[in-house]
């Protein structure tokens, strides 16, 4: 039991520290997935998108190496189950992408902006957390659980034990070597695209940020899947991943953890509510961003410019809360953490989030032109 007690504080602490690094670096060098899509659509500038893709490539390589060395088991995540609820990924991703554009940033950017003094993002965070909790256990849950999630593809019928691309390649009989090298080939292809641009190659801060963000995701897998893993919990005699909300191995994802953070604050005296990996990561991201903003003297209080601005941000938070839970993650949870496992559902969510953001950008442009 002493080992369990030690891990109960060690896992959240390490998650907090890793998230603080994420928050500080992202705040300092403006890592923003919504901004990446916006730059491409509005200006044809792919540099921030390449930074996001670089983080994905680093996360794929690092996660694969951890799995190959036997330190983690990627079959024990929420992303790689054989049954893929494809409609949830697509609908949730589209709504999340639309919402993050209305709300001026995804889940991670919302927390980072809160750390920088942005009161608009604080409102988004509250609406996101409430909507996420309603989608997990409240009024929105039936729509997700009975309307969207049952529409799925069971890849187990193909012979694949999990829904990652490696398992699918293996089920096609292409050999163990093809399965083993596939993640590295995908990461290499992404890397070639990322560094093919001369402007990005000279943007050292963006390269540094992409590498650090990807490494933080890998660190999250190691903390949750190796340090926090118990082959046999002394209390239940079953395997356990210490202090995870899903009961499985986790890395960084921000939508559901924001909901659980609000739940913890509301039910603080309930002894069954504890600081989990996800909650600690949300707090760490705010703390890291705040420390960097204060240290670089960029901390600024910022409020709403108009009632319409407030409505847009509140709506964005609600859409992100529902969409993020439905899609099993956000631009970080699915867009980097999920993709690091090469899960089919993560690819669906990633492209749906980007598509939803593009639609929102087009909608906002139409609104501006219409009012002019």
pLDDT at 330 over 70: yes
What whole-number distance in Å separates Cα of residue 276 and Cα of residue 283?
Answer: 11
What whole-number distance in Å separates Cα of residue 149 and Cα of residue 130?
Answer: 20
**pLDDT by residue (tens digit) across 36-84?**
999 999 999 999 999 999 999 999 999 999 999 999 999 999 999 999 9
Q: In this predicted structure, what is the pLDDT of residue 56?
A: 98
Global confidence as pTM: 0.96
| Average of per-residue pLDDT across 181-192 | 96
CA quadruple 258, 262, 265, 267: dihedral positive or negative? negative
Q: Write down the mean pLDDT value for the chain.
A: 95
pLDDT at 219 over 80: yes
Say if strands 83-84 and 153-154 run parallel, antiparallel, or are unpaired: antiparallel
Tokens at 121, concatenated: 């993002």
What whole-number distance in Å separates Cα of residue 306 and Cα of residue 315?
Answer: 14
Q: Which residues contact 277 (CB under 8 A, 6 or more apart)?
A: 11, 12, 15, 220, 223, 224, 228, 243, 244, 245, 250
**pLDDT by residue (tens digit) across 227-240?**
999 998 888 888 99
| Average of per-residue pLDDT across 23-28 | 97
**pLDDT by residue (tens digit) across 268-308?**
999 889 999 999 999 999 999 999 999 999 999 999 989 99
Q: Are 89 and 109 spatial neighbours (Cβ–Cβ below 8 Å)?
A: no
| pLDDT confidence band for 129 (50 / 70 / 90) | very high
Q: In this predicted structure, what is the pLDDT of residue 156?
A: 87
């Amino acid at each position: 039991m002493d080992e369990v007690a030690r891990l109960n504080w060690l896992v959240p602490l390490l998650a907090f520290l890793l998230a603080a690094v994420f928050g500080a670096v992202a705040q300092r060098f403006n890592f923003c997935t919504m901004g990446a899509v916006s730059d491409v659509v509005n200006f044809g500038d792919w540099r921030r998108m390449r930074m996001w893709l670089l983080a994905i490539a680093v996360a794929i390589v690092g996660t694969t190496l951890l799995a190959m060395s036997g330190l983690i088991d990627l079959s024990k995540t929420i992303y790689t189950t054989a049954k893929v609820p494809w409609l949830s990924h697509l609908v949730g991703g589209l709504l999340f992408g639309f919402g993050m554009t209305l709300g001026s940033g995804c889940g991670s950017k919302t927390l980072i902006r809160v750390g920088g003094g942005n009161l608009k993002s604080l409102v988004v965070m509250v609406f996101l957390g409430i909507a996420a909790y309603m989608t997990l256990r409240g009024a929105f849950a039936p729509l997700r659980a009975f309307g969207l999630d049952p529409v799925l593809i069971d890849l187990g019928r193909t012979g694949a034990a999990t829904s990652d691309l490696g398992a699918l390649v293996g089920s096609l009989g292409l050999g163990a070597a093809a399965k083993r090298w596939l993640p590295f080939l995908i990461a290499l292809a992404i890397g070639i695209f990322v560094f093919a641009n001369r402007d990005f190659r000279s943007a050292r801060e963006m390269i540094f940020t992409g590498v650090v963000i990807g490494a933080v995701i890998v660190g999250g897998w190691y903390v949750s899947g190796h340090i926090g893993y118990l082959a046999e919990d002394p209390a239940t005699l079953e395997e356990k991943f210490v202090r995870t909300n899903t009961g499985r191995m986790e890395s960084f994802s921000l939508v559901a953890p924001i909901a659980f953070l609000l739940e913890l604050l509301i039910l603080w005296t309930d002894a069954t509510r504890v600081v989990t990996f996800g909650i600690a990561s949300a707090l760490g991201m705010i703390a890291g961003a705040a420390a960097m903003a204060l240290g670089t003297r960029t901390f600024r209080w910022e409020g709403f410019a108009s009632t319409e601005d407030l409505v847009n941000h509140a709506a964005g938070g609600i859409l992100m809360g529902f969409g993020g839970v439905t899609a099993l993650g956000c631009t970080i949870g699915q867009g980097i953490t999920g993709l690091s496992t090469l899960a089919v559902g993560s690819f669906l969510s990633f492209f749906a989030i980007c598509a939803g953001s593009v639609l929102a950008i087009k909608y906002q442009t139409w609104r501006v032109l219409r009012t002019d």
